[in-house]
Structure 1
């Protein structure tokens, strides 16, 4: 009876600490060698605490090494042993995101203090503090996952479209002024954009691989960003031309020239670089702003190419593929502009929380509320209500 209570307590403790793979586990199989199991899990925890990534191969090697050290004869760390070990301790394979382990918290705190002191010393307003960041956009990429019957072992697919452009987004710390996005493609004058370059809702530039380089970036700073900042401060903030000031925070990308080469308006508009390996933690555009933009762009893109209801009863799948084929850079420019303008001002402002206030950002995914999904369901012929979606 006592042994049963002890087992129950062990299971309850494992579930509470979420170390088990299944919360409804009724049995907990003990390892054949408890000492070896404890050595391996302690080694694993030490590696993780040091920021070292551990794979299954390393776990098996460490187990065999520990087995040799404690005199355990005939032990072999097989795939079956690894499976049971991971099951006992609730270990799963996960993808590693970001570069936060390379960041130095002391450097971040010092940089944030420098920015605050600079704002106070020069009397800068939040409207005069900007951040801009580059990102890649696979603008014709359709979802890789799909719904399928449980009876189907696999789902046939098509070659993924890797058409890509580079994109630069920027805005001020109050979220009241968003700079017009810059799109970088491969062609100097795409055929679908001929005669429209001056009337585009975004800026367009080109490079051999559709990547940012020093020439493209400097052209954006002096021909687009600075004039837009001056115009906003004079027309909206009612500041005289001589009093226009701005500080643009940038990361240390190879395409960015030295700060001394990015000074305009007699030093009143200049840039300050972020410390290395800190963009994932404090760069405002990386705190959910670009993610929100890409989700909005993807929703707009799918709405445009995916055919849900065809009144003439033609092949819906073929129509979708034809729409995808006809989706060109002109459509990309329009949807980029739409998505960027639909990123809420609160999301733009909250992206600065980590840098200015050392608090977590709050992302408002505008366009993903229940009403929006209800509209899409009704459009596709589904009879549902907003309450159904909320529930």
Structure 2
């Protein structure tokens, strides 16, 4: 993992759980949503192949590109999966790009292909608020602390509907994001299988997945992952210590360096303090004499 992620310390995690406990106290599991942005790429990945003996450099002929399509996925602590929200990289949106997809899926577009404040607001309005419509009590959205997703207008809208945001600590989503921990991996595996099959059949002559084909492929994906989605999402909430609330689930998975960070810091502080004291007050009685006499030495002797 990157150094920034490895730097996540027990202090950060404990502080996060201290605030989380207050935020989700007495909130029904069905009212707690974890959301996360991901993408489905056009690359089916590497696979093992069968070749004749002695072939040093086997190659698989299969068109692919670096293109990807962004998705916002969300699930509740009860294991219920919300409809996907798709964002295409485009200036316009066409009818064939939104037909024959998963039930209640939403589609949008941006020039970058990623979520911005307007698109995130639309996701909340079109997916989250309708989902919470008949649910009573406080509602909580748990996700990344991305300022590009939030606006004053959206915060006020959510506040009026008793919807509250809980942000995860920076660089900790591999530990604290339920969808990251237990949902996205099987989802990406299923997508690569669907993508590879499509590229060998209908898409064998195409360089990438056309946007007009994507909704139908996404429907195949959702049908496949829905088989185990409830168990996977619940496992993610459990593994991240959110439901049931248990900080030790995350603390136990911290890198060993991070777990010993506080002890190391305290030891360093003491060492530095002792060194400074020794430098200022300590002595082993080896000092330059103040008075000295010149010694006459005969040349050559």
Common fold: TM-score over 0.5: yes
Structure 1, unaligned runs of 5 or more: 1-95, 234-242, 308-318, 361-391
Give deviations 1:147-200, integer Å, cap 9, x for gaps: 13341122344553223101111011121x211111110233235336x38985
Contact 1:128 1:172 in 2 (8 A): yes
Q: Distance in 1 between matches of 2:85 and 2:66?
A: 20
Higher relative contact order (CA 8 A, sep 6+): 2
Higher helix share: 1
The yes-or-no answer on 1:251 pairing with 2:144 is yes
What residue ranges of structure 2 are gaps of 5+ in the alignment? 251-301
Residue 335 to residue 102, structure 1, CA distance change in 2 (3 Å): farther
Deviates more, 1:346-355 or 1:145-154: 145-154
Is contact 1:135-1:168 (8 Å) kept? Answer: yes
- With normalisation by structure 1, the TM-score equals 0.54
Deviation (angstroms), 1:289 = 1.0
1:281 corresponds to: 175
* Residue pairs, 1:318-329, within 5 angstroms: 321-322=204-205, 328-329=213-214
Map of 1:334 onto structure 2: 219
Q: Partners of 2:39 and 2:131 in 1: how far apart?
A: 23
The DSSP-based 3-state class of the residue aligned with 1:270 is: strand
1:230 to 101, 118, 133: 133
Distance 1:331 1:305 in 2: 14
CA 1:222–1:228 in structure 2 vs 1: closer, same or farther (change >3 Å)?
same
Give the one of 237, 262, 267 matched to 1:352.
Answer: 237
Per-residue CA distance 1:64-106 (angstroms, 9 max, x = gap): xxxxxxxxxxxxxxxxxxxxxxxxxxxxxxxx46953031221
Question: In the alignment, is the contact (CA less than 8 A) between 2:100 and 2:216 conserved in 1?
Answer: no
CA distance in 2, matches of 1:259, 1:337: 33
- Which residue does the alignment assign to 1:302? 196
Aligned partners of 2:228, 2:206: CA distance in 1, in Å?
Answer: 26
Structure 1 pair 331/352, CA: closer, same or farther in 2 (3 Å)?
same
Residue 216 in 1 paired to residue 119 in 2?
A: yes
Q: Is the partner of 1:103 in helix, strand or coil?
A: coil
Give 3-state SS (helix, strand or coil) of 1:108's partner. helix
**Structure 1 partner of 2:158:** 264
Could you tell me the TM-score, scaled by structure 2's length?
0.69
